[in-house]
Amino acid sequence: MQISSKDFVFLIGLASVIFLIAPVSLIIYVAMYNNRKKRHEQETAWLKTSFENELLKSQMEVQEQTMQTLAGHLHDNIGQLLSLTVVTLSAIKPDDPLKLREKVDSASQLAKRAIKELRQLSRLIYGQELIRMGLAKAISFELDYLKTADLHAISFNSNYELPDGRKSDKEIILFRIFQEILNNAVRHAEASAIDVVLQQDEQTLVMQIKDNGKGFVEEDVIKDKKGMGLFNIRKRVALIGGEVSIAAQNGTEIKIVIPYP
């Protein structure tokens, strides 16, 4: 069968088009691949920078929260105890032996209470460094300090163990999230009971904080400037690759799950 010149020209044209399309398609594919790779590298660099900035911000906020707690406790508790001690000692009359003994005993009790409060403060200062020893210890120390006020029924259950050699970057951010939630429960929710659970398995770490406070409607809070706290919590959880669920109808229950293989 003989191919006509018209068909021959058509076949040559078709082959030319195919040979032209193939390298052009390859060039376009390589360009698209390089663009995707570049975008991925940019996104990775952005996420790394964002994480480092958030980590630094969380570290500073942990320190600031600790300093605020220290200042308030020194002024409200230890300062008052020492002032009462001074007043008691200044009221001593050497010529009244019965009152003398009573005043000395009172001043001694006040001094012992002040020493006890100072020990609690020292534990709180040390608690800031406990992140390096594990999130559970840092949370436990924070809750132990809150217990000293005898205003809240507090429970804490944990099976968390810090593996050898693990860096504490995620723990610092998670601890700052915990501090923010705890602060909201104490100051805004007016809670009298707070339950904290830290549950760890082979792949995830779950932190759950529940209180019996007045709760809130999340949509209403977000419309207000007070919603920045919830926004920060969600943003920080997302940054460490986790998920957060919030239930605030009867009290508030916040559950955070992060990858923790």
The pLDDT score that the predictor gives to residue 59 is 66
Residue segments in the chain with a per-residue pLDDT below the cut of 50: 227
What pLDDT digit, counting tens, does each position of 234-258 carry?
888 888 888 999 888 788 999 999 9
The pLDDT score that the predictor gives to residue 207 is 94
Q: Which fold has domain 5-259?
A: Heat Shock Protein 90 (3.30.565)
The pLDDT score that the predictor gives to residue 167 is 57
The pLDDT score that the predictor gives to residue 196 is 96
The CA–CA distances, whole Å, from 137 to 7, 11, 28, 144, 164 equal 83, 78, 55, 10, 15
Distance separating alpha carbons of residues 62 and 209, to the nearest angstrom: 18
The pLDDT score that the predictor gives to residue 4 is 64
- The amino acid at residue 15 is A
Q: Please, what is the Cα angle at 136 between 243 and 65, to 5 degrees?
A: 80
What pLDDT digit, counting tens, does each position of 220-236 carry?
555 555 545 777 888 88
Give the full edge-to-edge strand order of the sheet including 193-200.
153-158, 193-200, 204-211, 252-259, 243-247
The pLDDT score that the predictor gives to residue 255 is 94
Question: pTM surpassing 0.75?
Answer: no
The single residue listed with the structure tokens 């996420």 is 47
